Amino acid sequence: MEHVVPARIHQLRTIDPGEIRLVQLALPEEIEIAGKLYVIQDTMRPGTAFLAKPWGARTGKYRRRMYTRSNSACNAPRLLETLINHTHQDHADTSAWWQSEMANDWFEKEKTVDVRINLDQAERVAMVYENTMVCKPANLRLEDDGKWEEMQMVCVAFGTGITPFLSYVQYMAAKDFGQQGVRHGVRLTLVASVRHAGQLMLHEELLSLEKQFPQHFRYQPVLTRSWPDAWGYLKGRIVRVERGKSGGDHIDITPLQSLVPDLSQSHLRMCGNVMACRQLTLGLEQSGIIPLTVRAESW
Ligand SMILES: Cc1cc2nc3c(=O)[nH]c(=O)nc-3n(C[C@H](O)[C@H](O)[C@H](O)COP(=O)(O)OP(=O)(O)OC[C@H]3O[C@@H](n4cnc5c(N)ncnc54)[C@H](O)[C@@H]3O)c2cc1C
Find the domain containing 274 and state its range. Answer: 148-298
Domain identity same for 117 and 155? no
Pick the atom of ligand 1 nearest to 94's CA: 25
Domain identity same for 154 and 105? no
**Domains of the chain: total:** 2
Domain identity same for 93 and 173? no
* Residue nearest (by alpha carbon) to ligand 1 atom 13: 67
* Residue nearest (by alpha carbon) to ligand 1 atom 7: 67
**Strand intervals (E) in the chain:** 3-16, 20-26, 30-33, 36-41, 49-53, 65-68, 79-85, 112-120, 125-128, 152-158, 187-194, 217-223, 240-243, 249-252, 267-272, 293-298
Segment 95-106, tens digit of pLDDT: 999 999 999 999
pTM: 0.96
Domain identity same for 97 and 200? no
Cα of 95 from ligand 1 centre, angstroms: 7
Segment 173-207, tens digit of pLDDT: 999 999 988 889 999 999 999 999 999 999 999 99
Q: Is 91 in the pocket of ligand 1 (CB under 6 A)?
A: yes
Q: Is residue 139 part of a domain?
A: no
Q: Is residue 214 part of a domain?
A: yes
* Residue nearest (by alpha carbon) to ligand 1 atom 46: 91
Domain identity same for 168 and 278? yes
Q: Is 93 in the pocket of ligand 1 (CB under 6 A)?
A: yes
| Banded model confidence at residue 38, pLDDT cuts 50, 70, 90 | very high
Q: Quote the longest CA-to-CA distance of the chain.
A: 69
Q: Is residue 78 part of a domain?
A: yes
Q: Is residue 55 part of a domain?
A: yes
